[in-house]
Amino acid sequence: MPERLSGGCACGAVRYECDAAPMFMWVCHCRECQRASGGGGAVNVVFRKVDVRFTQGEPTYSPRIGTSGQRTWRGFCVECGSPLAARADLIPDIQGLSAASFDDPGQFRLVAHIWTDSAQPWDTLAPEVPRIAGTPTPADLAHLLALAHGSAPAQ
């Protein structure tokens, strides 16, 4: 993991830096993530919100009511439309960043596929990666954190 994680949108209007390693990376296959990403799901690298700083510009956030009844927020660049960020009022302390927006997206390891109940039949899910049918529970989150940081046995 490099000392500083950085990235931004396609046109460069929005740039960010992260001050700490991510919690984990997952792919969310819910229909909202499919619509927002234009593909089989959104690949999100999840950080503690305090560890993410926007150094140039800011994503524009669009709120939607999620399955929990609370708002989820998707951040994109208003200039070029790149999806950049995701937040959920349900878990307000974390900030997702689109994996492809990092300057080096290849450095992260996928820890879970979530919302697999709505994964598309033509989508390819990594067979060795844990799957969660819908929204991760607090226990799921704790397990994924442990998996990502090497202190739990694989399921």
**If you count DSSP H runs as helices and E runs as strands, how many of each does the chain have, helices first?**
2, 11
In whole angstroms, the minimum distance from the beta carbon of 44 to Zn ion comes to 8
In whole angstroms, the minimum distance from the beta carbon of 28 to Zn ion comes to 3
Among 1, 20, 80, 126, binds Zn ion (CB under 5 A): 80
The 3-state DSSP class for residue 31 equals helix
**Alpha carbon distance 59, 150 (integer Å):** 32
Q: Is 77 in the site for Zn ion (CB under 5 A)?
A: yes
- Closest-CA residue to 108 (of 83, 92, 131, 126): 126
Residue closer to Zn ion, measured from CB, 11 or 126: 11
Q: Is 36 in the site for Zn ion (CB under 5 A)?
A: no
Q: Is 9 in the site for Zn ion (CB under 5 A)?
A: yes
In whole angstroms, the minimum distance from the beta carbon of 143 to Zn ion comes to 19
Kindly report the three-state secondary structure assignment for every residue of 31-65: HHHHHHHCCCCEEEEEEEHHHEEEEECCCEEEEEE
Among 79, 89, 123, 140, binds Zn ion (CB under 5 A): 79
User: Which residue in this structure is represented by tokens 């046109």?
Assistant: 11
Q: Is 99 in the site for Zn ion (CB under 5 A)?
A: no
* 147 DSSP assignment: H
Taking CB under 5 A as the binding criterion, the range among 13-21, 87-95, 132-140, 145-153 that sits at the site for Zn ion is 13-21
CB 140 within 8 A of CB 152: no
- Residues lying near Zn ion in the complex (CB under 5 A): 9, 11, 13, 28, 30, 33, 77, 79-80
